[in-house]
Amino acid sequence: MSRKILVLDTTLRDGEQVPGAKLNLYEKLELAHQLKALNVDIIEAGFPASSQGDFNAVKEIVASIGKDRTITALARAVKNDIDAVYQSIKYAKNPLIHIVLGTSSVHVEKKFNRSKDEVLEMGVSAVKYAKTLLPDVQYSTEDASRSDFEYLWKTIEAVVKAGATMINIPDTVGYAVPEEFGELVKKINYRLKNMNDKVILSVHCHNDTGLATANTLIAIKNGADKIECTINGLGERAGNAALEEVVMGLKLRAEYYNAYTNIVTKEICKASRLVSNLTGLDIQVNKAITGDNAFAHSSGIHQDGLLKSRDVYEVISPEDVGVENMEIILTARSGHHAFKSAAEKIGCKFKDDESFEYLFNKFLELADVKKEVYDHDIYYLIEKYSNEKAL
Ligand code: KIV
Ligand code: ZN
């Protein structure tokens, strides 16, 4: 039976950590509403202990959409942070406290300068405290992919016993490679399900070597029940797994993964444009799913194939992610078929094959000196040459 994968969007927390991406309260609310329209299962609304502004924003998001969505916010494994999260999300219908604490040796020794047992105890105490406030607690074993497996498991086992209801495995610095990350998730999933099959296993992947989407998808294949991602892959450094890529990758190969999400994919492009407009951060033109060129075709061979049948070169239909239509870009590589289709679309009728061939050659001459040929260029060609070769 196909498994439902929960989607947590952290654009408002990890995404907002990007330099220059800071949003004001109204922008955060607008984005939260779009995340609701996308139907993400959980919205990570912020890091309330980081500033009064963030605390207020999380509270406002809860007041605005907290009855419809699970809302979470981040806390380090300390009482003050957990209190700030609790105070900001407590009126949501399903509030979830998210605690993060490192498990790798670099975190334990260099960041905390404590022993492994002391750090483990900090995590357990934090979960126990959070559980006195709310029933749902997610525990993130920060830098999990660089952690010693037995210590990582010891931590997971202890925090689950203390009451954690979700275990999140972050590839915090984008260190993991898909095969290895898949094995890690499989091993944890196996032990976790034997211990407490109600605990939700989650992953959170960063994109330092461009593998965040691949690592997230392989985690799903290996048993992860929940994924964390951001719109446009916004996030620390090279960013997080992009929601649009993971969701559409999963949808495209649903049988392979035997899993699905409840994301309303038609809202994807709107969400992507909104995040770009609000943050002022452009979307790379060739970005998968939401880049300007994601559904644009410029080579003649491809254009010819597409005009015969779209599935020749299109595995995702643009309409499915809220893009009006595929785009045929006329360039010097375009062939007869694409040019004819574009010219006819704007009302040009060719007298005979010879006149078509004549105009096609004029089009190629223009395309050789211009990057792209637009409708107005075709009008120009028609005007200029129609007297020479009656069209
Ligand atoms: O990258 C990370 O480890 C995080 C945690 C808070 C999940 O963002
Ligand atoms: Zn992160």
Q: pLDDT for 182-197, tens place per residue?
A: 999 999 999 999 999 9
Contacts of 65 (CB under 8 A, 6+ apart): 32, 33, 36, 43, 71
Q: Indicate the top mutation candidate among 9, 10, 14, 168 to test ligand 1's pocket, ranked by most ligand atoms within 8 A of CB.
A: 14
Q: Is 81 a pocket residue for ligand 1 (Cβ < 6 Å)?
A: no
Ligand 1 atom with the shortest distance to the CA of 144: 3
Residue 229 β-bridge partners:
9
Rounded Cα–Cα distance for residues 207 and 215 (Å): 9
Instruction: Write the CA distances from 193 to 161, 183, 188, 224, integer angstroms.
Output: 13, 15, 8, 11
Instruction: Write the CA distances from 159 to 94, 95, 155, 269, integer angstroms.
Output: 21, 19, 6, 38
Q: How far is the CA of 324 from the centre of ligand 1 (A)?
A: 35
Other Cβ atoms less than 10 A from the Cβ of 172: the count is 24
pLDDT computed for residue 242 by the predictor: 98
- pLDDT > 70: what percent of the chain? 98
Q: How far is the CA of 204 from the centre of ligand 1 (A)?
A: 7
Ligand 1 atom with the shortest distance to the CA of 140: 7
Q: How far is the first Cα of the chain from the last one, in angstroms, to the nearest whole number?
A: 60
Rounded Cα–Cα distance for residues 60 and 89 (Å): 9
Q: Indicate the top mutation candidate among 81, 168, 204 to test ligand 1's pocket, ranked by most ligand atoms within 8 A of CB.
A: 204
Q: Angle at Cα 91 formed by Cα 88 and Cα 92, nearest 5°?
A: 95
Q: Is 142 a pocket residue for ligand 1 (Cβ < 6 Å)?
A: yes
Closest CA relative to residue 287, chosen from 244, 253, 322: 244
Confirm whether residue 232 is marked as ligand binding: no
pLDDT tier at 387, thresholds 50, 70, 90: low
Instruction: Write the CA distances from 220 to 7, 60, 204, integer angstroms.
Output: 11, 33, 11
Atom 1 of ligand 1, residue of closest alpha carbon: 172
- pLDDT > 90: what percent of the chain? 80
ipTM, 2 dp: 0.99
Rounded Cα–Cα distance for residues 70 and 270 (Å): 22
Q: How far is the CA of 137 from the centre of ligand 1 (A)?
A: 15
Q: Is 89 a pocket residue for ligand 1 (Cβ < 6 Å)?
A: no
Confirm whether residue 14 is marked as ligand binding: yes
Q: pLDDT for 249-287, tens place per residue?
A: 999 999 999 999 999 999 999 999 999 999 999 999 999
Q: How far is the CA of 49 from the centre of ligand 1 (A)?
A: 15
Token pair in block for residue 292: 């300007």
Q: Is 16 a pocket residue for ligand 1 (Cβ < 6 Å)?
A: no
Closest CA relative to residue 159, chosen from 205, 97, 251: 97
Q: pLDDT for 40-80, tens place per residue?
A: 999 999 999 999 999 999 999 999 999 999 999 999 999 99
Ligand 1 atom with the shortest distance to the CA of 204: 7
Kindly report the pTM of this predicted structure: 0.89
Closest CA relative to residue 71, chosen from 34, 23, 36: 36
Q: pLDDT for 345-364, tens place per residue?
A: 888 888 889 989 999 999 99
| Residues bordering ligand 2, an ion, CB closer than 5 Å | 14
Atom 4 of ligand 1, residue of closest alpha carbon: 172
pLDDT tier at 391, thresholds 50, 70, 90: low
Mean pLDDT of all residues belonging to the chain: 94
Q: pLDDT for 25-34, tens place per residue?
A: 999 999 999 9
3-state secondary structure the chain: CCEECEEEECCCCCHHHCCCCCCCHHHHHHHHHHHHHHCCCEEECCCHHHCHHHHHHHHHHHHHHCCCCEEEEEEECCHHHHHHHHHHHCCCCEEEEEEEEECCHHHHHHHCCCCHHHHHHHHHHHHHHHHHHCCCEEEEEECHHHCCHHHHHHHHHHHHHCCCCEEEEEECCCCCCHHHHHHHHHHHHHHHHHHCCCCEEEEEEECCCCCHHHHHHHHHHCCCCEEEEEHHHCCCCCCECEHHHHHHHHHHCHHHHCEECCCCHHHHHHHHHHHHHHHCCCCCCCCCCCCCCCCEECCHHHHHHHHHCHHHCCCCCHHHHCCCCCEECECCCCCHHHHHHHHHHCCCCCCCHHHHHHHHHHHHHHHHHCCCECHHHHHHHHHHHCCCCCC
Rounded Cα–Cα distance for residues 208 and 219 (Å): 17
- Provide the angle, in degrees to the nearest 10, between the axes of the packed helices 25-38 and 52-65: 40
